[in-house]
Chain A
Amino acid sequence: MREDEEVATEIAPETATLPLDAWHRAKDARMVEFAGYWMPIQYEGIMAEHMWVREHAGLFDVSHMGQISLSGDGAAEALETLVPGDISALKPGRMRYSLLLAEDGGILDDLMVTNEGDQIGIVVNGAVKWEDIGYLRENLPDDITLNHNEDYGLLALQGPKAVAALSRLVPEAAGLVFMQAAKATWNGHAIALSRSGYTGEDGFEISLPNEALADFADALCAMEEVKPIGLGARDSLRLEAGLPLYGHDLDEGIDPIEGDLAFAISKRRREEGGFPGAARILGHLADGSPRKRVGLLIEGKMPVREGAKLFDGNTEIGVVTSGGFAPSVGAPIAMGYVPRDHAAPGTAIAAEVRGKRVPVTVAATPFVPHNYVRKQGG
């Protein structure tokens, strides 16, 4: 089974379809190729969908992401040899953001790690899931069992009304706070949910069997608070929330400190090390990294997009890694990499777009405040 999977990935696969492919097309989604899948980029329009999520609740199909579980004695400790988070201190029902690190400390992927009680759940980016699975299998001990749960899809319900909508189907949702997870059942199906997401809003991710996805999505979209939302708005929402996108804002040439992800290096791991690239990463943590990921506010209306070069005077100093129009800000925003001495918010630099210089200012992120629910009833 495992070998078959690995063989299959060596033959360049054709673009795959998601379990909800027909569901998206029935809703008139515009489908594009992303991460090896046909995925909905928009339904009624990116701007309207973006604003809907900030005010109501939006349903995202993120079934392209890899859902992996690790089991066996010492699975948490084993995973800690590859990520810089304190996984063994993670209590059942808790999750944290972490990073899969290459030997030199470069970021192979960013991921969510959950203590599911009997096993560790990991959600990884769709575009690199096969590489991640290969890397984990190669580097974890043989007595740790890795399962790739391909018979499960993943939906995200995001926005201030997500909790009200989801609680009607899954009452357990209201009992969670940000970065907590639980198991539940819906219509006889075993499902897992967490209060997390990629929009900066309150919301949930729900893992459920492929055969239950369409009914569950229909049940949510029948509610007046909920509309389906495409990848386009997912990208503008996460950009406003200051959240990096792997393969664009992060890659294997960037370490966690350069990527402004020092929060993902847990306190105990800072003291003990023992993760790939610890010397480089802890050195950058102590002394600062030569370059850093920052937010950028753009003067005027012209979007500054991925690949635009950044200048201080005539000196090229960095590059934009994500950028576009931010519907909730009402202006273009971006993120990119600049030298340490240009990373302070307020630093005035310029971006080059089609041969023209555009004034940009280094800005603190998020661009739109996060609305996470961190305390029950608080």
Chain B
Amino acid sequence: MPRYYTEEHEWLDVDGDVATVGITDFAQGQLGDIVFVEVPDTGAELTAGGDAAVVESVKAASDVYAPVDGTVTEGNGQLEEDPALVNSDPEGEGWFFRMTLSDKSQLDALMNAAAYKAFCDDL
């Protein structure tokens, strides 16, 4: 299952026409202790670059943007009870939502793991 990364520090695992989306380990490290996550409702229509979710650390609220166009099929309900999952397992159990892919060609603009690592090293 290919994994893609965005410059907004999100990851996408693509399985057929559906992607699972979360924020990267780098992102959770920057945010610090996460105390609240608001995931999108099932059925929400997302547009690449538009607001998709909100993640709040002790200090501040941050927007999570939709990496591509599509429709939300599921939000991670576990984050409501245990938002710290985003700190402890950001690229696994701490996923945010799943969405359909309206236009798979949008994936071509995203980074692979090596490119994302190089991107972070330059920050």
Contact = CB atoms under 8 A, between A and B. Distances in A.
Contacts of A327: 58
A303 B61 contact: yes
Number of contact residues on B: which range applies? 10 to 19
Contact of A303 (B32, B56, B80): B56
A46 B33 contact: yes
Contact of B59 (A48, A232, A332, A354): A232
A45 interface: yes
A303 B33 contact: no
Nearest to A303: B56
A41 interface: yes
Nearest to A47: B33
A22 B13 CA distance: 41
B83 interface: yes
Contact of B32 (A45, A301, A332): A45
Nearest to B56: A303
A73 to B, nearest CB: 47
Nearest to B54: A354
A325 B58 contact: yes
Given A301-B80, A301-B83, A47 B58 contact: yes
A301 B58 CA distance: 12
B32 A324 contact: no
Contacts of B38: 302, 354
Contacts of B35: 301, 303, 325, 332
Interface in B41-86: 54, 56-61, 80, 83
Contacts of B116: none
A309 interface: no
Contacts of B36: 301-303, 325, 332
B1 to A, nearest CB: 31
A101 to B, nearest CB: 31
A305 interface: yes
A301 B60 CA distance: 14
B26 to A, nearest CB: 14
Interface string B26-42: 00000011011010000
A303 B34 CA distance: 11
Given A42-B32, A325-B36, A302 B58 contact: no
30 contacts: A41-B59, A42-B32, A45-B32, A45-B33, A46-B32, A46-B57, A46-B59, A47-B33, A48-B33, A50-B58, A232-B58, A232-B59, A301-B35, A301-B36, A301-B83, A302-B36, A302-B38, A302-B56, A303-B36, A303-B61, A305-B60, A305-B61, A324-B58, A324-B59, A325-B35, A325-B56, A325-B58, A327-B58, A332-B35, A354-B38
Interface of A: 41-42, 45-48, 50, 232, 235-236, 301-303, 305, 324-325, 327, 332, 354
Interface of B: 32-33, 35-36, 38, 54, 56-61, 80, 83
